[in-house]
Amino acid sequence: MKQKISGLYQKDGTKSVLAALISIIIGLAVGSLIILAVGVANPTLGLTGAWDGIRLVFVGILSTGRDAAGALTFGFNPTSVGNMLFRATPLILTGLSVAVAFKTGLFNIGAPGQYLMGTAATLIIALSIPSDVVPTWLIWWLAFLGGALAGALWGCIPGLVKAFLNINEVLACIMTNWIAANLVTWVFDGSNYRNLVENTKSGYIYKTSFNGVETAKLGLDKLFPNSQVNGGILVAIVIAILMYVLMTKTTLGYELKACGSNRHAARYAGIRDKRNIVLSMAIAGALSGAAAALYYLSGNTEFFWSTYQSLPATGFNGIPVALLAASNPIAVIFTGCFMSMLDIVGLQLTNLTAYNEYITDVIIATIVYLSAFTLVIKTFLSGRKKRKAQAARAQAVPEEAPKPDAAEGKGGDGV
C-alpha cells in the first residue's frame, strides 16, 4: 500500500495538483489574515465580524444569508452555484486558450484581444440576422462559430510574426490587444446596435435576446433557479474534453507539443514547426473567441463598447486558471470554477458584511503570484520526498564493509 501511495506521489500530475492546492491554501490564508487584521482594528467589526468574513472566504458559495437573529446561515445555495457556473464558462475557455499555447511553448497573453474580436463578431452576427427569417438556433450557431473564427484569425497574427519573423509572441500579443480594443470601439461607436431599446443608456450594445438569440437553459434553470446559468457551461466542458483528447491522443497534439519542447529538434524530425506555431495560436484565439461568444450569447449580458479604457479582465484571468491547472485541459474546468467561486465570495462579503469584495482580489492576486512558482513548489516537494526516501534506504540497508584491496588478497603488497 505504501509503495502504491509513493508511486502515486512520484507522478508529475500529483505534484502539480499538490502545488496548486498549496497556492490556493496560502492565498486563502493571506485573505483570512487580512480580514482578521481589519476586524481587530475596526471596533464596529471586532472578532465576530472577522470570523464571519473568514467563514465567507472559505465557504461563501454555500452562504444563504442571515437569519432573524443576524447570524450567518449556510446550506446549498442554487442561485450562487448557478451564477458561479455562468461566470466560470468564459474563464474555462480563456484558461484553455492560455493552456494550449503553454503546451506548445508559447505564452498567449493576447487572449483579451482575441476575446474582444470574438465579442464583436458574435454580437454583430447575432443582432444583424433577422430572427423572423432565420431560425434563432441557426443564428446562435452562426454567431458562436463567427466569434470563434474571429478569435482564431486574430490569434494567427502573433503566431505568424513568431513563426516567420521570430518576433516574441508576448510583444506581438500586447500590440494586438490594444489594436483590437480600439478597433472594436471604432466599429461599435459608429454602429446602429446601440440603445436599441434601453434609450436611457449610452454606449451599450443591447442583449442578444433582443433578437431572440440566447443560449438554451437545458433544464439548468430548474436546478439553479434565479441564476444566470445556461447550457454554455456544458459547451465549455465538452470543448475542454475535446482539447484534452486533441493534445494527448492525436498526432497533431504530439506535433504541437514537440514544437513547444524544441522547435529545432521538431523540424529536424520532419515536423512543420512554422505551421504548428501559427496553428497553435489560431486554436488559442478560437478558444478565447468562443469564450466571448458563450458569454454574450447568454442573452442576459450586454457589452460596453468603450473598451479603450481597459482590456477585458476575463482574458487575463485565463492565465492563473491555466497556471493553477498546470495547463491540463481537464483541470482547467475545476480551476475556472474555483476562480469564479472567488468572485461570488467577493459579492457575499460585500452584501453580508462590512468588508468589500476587494479582499477577494487580494486572495486572487496571491494565488496568481504563487501559481507562477508552481514549478518551484513541485521541485521542493520532489526534493523533500527524495531526501526521505534516501534516509529510509540508509536505515533499511546497512553499509557494506569495504572490500579488501586486490593486492592484499594476494598476500600483502607483493614485495
Q: Could you please report the per-residue DSSP string of 291-315?
A: HHHHHHTTSS--EES-GGG---HHH
Could you tell me if 44 and 177 lie in one domain?
Answer: no
Neighbours of 137 (CB within 10 A): 10
* pLDDT of 43 strictly over 90: no
Could you tell me if 161 and 227 lie in one domain?
Answer: yes
For the stretch 276-294, pLDDT in tens is 999 999 999 999 999 999 9
Could you tell me if 194 and 336 lie in one domain?
Answer: yes
Residues composing the chain: 415
Which amino acid belongs to residue 171?
Answer: L
Q: Is residue 66 helix, strand or coil?
A: strand
Going from the C-alpha of 148 to that of each of 30, 141, 172, 210, the distances in angstroms are: 38, 11, 20, 22
pLDDT for res 215? 92
Looking at the domain assignment, is residue 138 inside a domain?
yes
For the stretch 383-408, pLDDT in tens is 655 555 555 566 655 555 555 555 55
pLDDT for res 414? 46
Alpha carbon of residue 36 to chain centroid: 29
Could you tell me if 109 and 71 lie in one domain?
Answer: no
* pLDDT of 97 strictly over 90: yes
Looking at the domain assignment, is residue 114 inside a domain?
yes
Radius of gyration of the chain, Cα coordinates, nearest whole angstrom = 26
Could you tell me if 71 and 84 lie in one domain?
Answer: no
Residues 6+ apart with CB under 8 A from 125: 139, 142, 143, 146, 147
What pTM did the predictor assign?
Answer: 0.84
Q: Is residue 243 helix, strand or coil?
A: helix
Domain count, the chain: 2
pLDDT for res 403? 54
Measured CA to CA, the distance from residue 361 to residue 375 in angstroms comes to: 23
* pLDDT of 142 strictly over 70: yes
Tell me which of 347, 373, 405 is where a domain ends. 347
Looking at the domain assignment, is residue 411 inside a domain?
no
For the stretch 106-134, pLDDT in tens is 889 999 999 999 999 999 999 889 988 99
For the stretch 196-239, pLDDT in tens is 555 556 666 778 888 889 999 988 989 999 889 999 999 999 99
The residue-averaged pLDDT of 42-48 equals 80
* pLDDT of 301 strictly over 80: yes
Measured CA to CA, the distance from residue 325 to residue 103 in angstroms comes to: 12
Model confidence band, residue 66 (pLDDT cutoffs 50, 70, 90)? confident
Could you tell me if 341 and 219 lie in one domain?
Answer: yes
Could you tell me if 154 and 21 lie in one domain?
Answer: no
Domain that holds residue 47: 1-76+354-391
* pLDDT of 309 strictly over 90: no
* pLDDT of 415 strictly over 50: no
Measured CA to CA, the distance from residue 388 to residue 359 in angstroms comes to: 38
Could you tell me if 42 and 129 lie in one domain?
Answer: no
Q: What average pLDDT does the chain have? A: 82
Model confidence band, residue 375 (pLDDT cutoffs 50, 70, 90)? low
pLDDT for res 392? 57
Looking at the domain assignment, is residue 410 inside a domain?
no
The residue-averaged pLDDT of 43-64 equals 85
**Between these two residues, 27 and 100, which has the higher pLDDT value?**
100
* pLDDT of 266 strictly over 60: yes
Say which range, 78-92, 168-182, 191-205, 257-271, has the weakest mean pLDDT.
191-205
DSSP code of residue 61: G
Domain at 139, CATH number: 1.10.3470
